[in-house]
Amino acid sequence: MKVTLAATVGTSLLAESACAAATQTQSRSHAFQFIQIPLPYAKEALEPSIDAMTMDIHYSKHHAAYIKNVNDAIVAENISYQAEADFFANASKLSAKARNNSGGAWNHNFFWMVMKPNGGGPPAGKLSDAINGSFGSFEKFKEQFTQAAMTRFGSGWAWLVIDTGKLKIGSTPNQDNPMMDVSDFKGTPLLGIDVWEHAYYLKYQNKRNEYVASWFNVINWDEVAKRLG
């Protein structure tokens, strides 16, 4: 009887353990994961503003690494947030690995979308009215945005955001973005430029000003307008 009882208890514990493991595996398999979007154009499509080799390294190496690293952190640290917005609203609670790589993953997906071949020029319609109303003119907007990109010391991003109904220009360090609770500059991104050296150094070397000026020729204003709503 004792042997039978022990065997029964042992079988029960094994079953419970297996069930718990299965539940944990299922939970992990359904955890939120960051996804690298397909590049919306060929890697050479933004030339001469952004060369094909820079685009290849930037997308296939740097961005891919951010995606892998944040997803690894989600599993290793048992992060339970279910959306990108949740990550950024709680950035102050994340490890450096999760914070930096979640920012890098999202920021780059955003960056690819706000560029396109044969882009640039001034925007039209509601977006044009919003920019003129906020900054005085498109040229003044370009000046302020360029200044934000040029004065971001070291690595980071310059942004056009909407915040409580107003357009604002600012910048963030490293892979932070304006949606993070740790950011001094806050808002919903409409446009952003990556000013990390890996975004431009192969073509422009230390001439960040030339990169920023050329980048205005590939802005996808249709995407920016869609984000403005």
Q: How many whole angstroms separate alpha carbon 47 and alpha carbon 155?
A: 23
CA distances from 189 to 17, 106, 128, 170, 210 (A): 46, 11, 16, 10, 23
| Three-state SS letters, the chain | CHHHHHHHHHHHHHHHHHHHHHHHHHHHHCCCCCCCCCCCCCCCCCCCCCCHHHHHHHHHHHHHHHHHHHHHHHHHCCCCCCCHHHHHHCHHHCCHHHHHHHHHHHHHHHHHHCECCCCCCCCCHHHHHHHHHHHCCHHHHHHHHHHHHHHCCCCEEEEEEEECCEEEEEEEECCCCCCCCCCCCCCEEEEEEECCHHHCHHHHCCCHHHHHHHHHHHECHHHHHHHHC
pTM: predicted TM-score of the whole model, two decimal places: 0.86
Whole-number pLDDT of residue 28? 47
Pairing status of strand 188-194 against strand 166-173: unpaired
**pLDDT tens, position by position, for the chain (229 residues)?**
434 444 334 434 334 434 433 334 334 445 799 999 999 999 999 999 999 999 999 999 999 999 999 999 999 999 999 999 999 999 999 999 999 999 999 999 999 999 999 999 999 999 999 999 999 999 999 999 999 999 999 999 999 999 999 999 999 999 999 999 999 999 999 999 999 999 999 999 999 999 999 999 999 999 999 999 9
Domain boundary assignment for the chain: 49-229
Which residue shows structure tokens 């230390």? 206
Whole-number pLDDT of residue 30? 54
Task: Name residue 189's amino acid.
Answer: P
- C-alpha radius of gyration, the chain, whole number: 23
Q: How many whole angstroms separate alpha carbon 215 and alpha carbon 47?
A: 10
What CATH number does the domain located at 49-229 have? 3.55.40.20
Asked if 161 and 190 count as a contact pair (C-beta separation under 8 A), the reply is yes
Q: Please work out, in degrees rounded to the nearest 5, the angle formed at the alpha carbon of residue 102 by the alpha carbons of 197 and 223.
A: 75
In 3D, which of 167, 165, 187 has the Cα closest to residue 176? 187
